[in-house]
Amino acid sequence: MMPRVMASNLKIYIIGGPGSGKSTLAHRLAGLTGLTHHDLDRVAWTSLASD
């Protein structure tokens, strides 16, 4: 088990092609590290739905 991250300014950027598991990896990393997970897919789809 990984220790919780103490640095409040730590950011991890995950890049990859469609369907490569970016969201899954980000969700798992957030659970392991205690970092906040911001799902940009949700931001994009919410923005498109409101247009």
Question: CB-hemisphere CA count at 13 Å for 19?
Answer: 0
4-40 pLDDT tens trace: 655 567 888 999 998 999 999 999 999 988 888 888 8
Domain ranges of the chain: 23-51
Give pLDDT, residue 41.
77
Instruction: Please say if the pLDDT value at position 2 is more than 80.
Output: no
36 or 47, which is more confident?
36
Determine the Cα–Cα distance for residues 23 and 41; give it in Å rounded to an integer.
8
Which pLDDT does position 46 carry in this prediction? Answer: 76
Helix then strand then coil, in percent of the chain rounded to 5, is 45, 0, 55
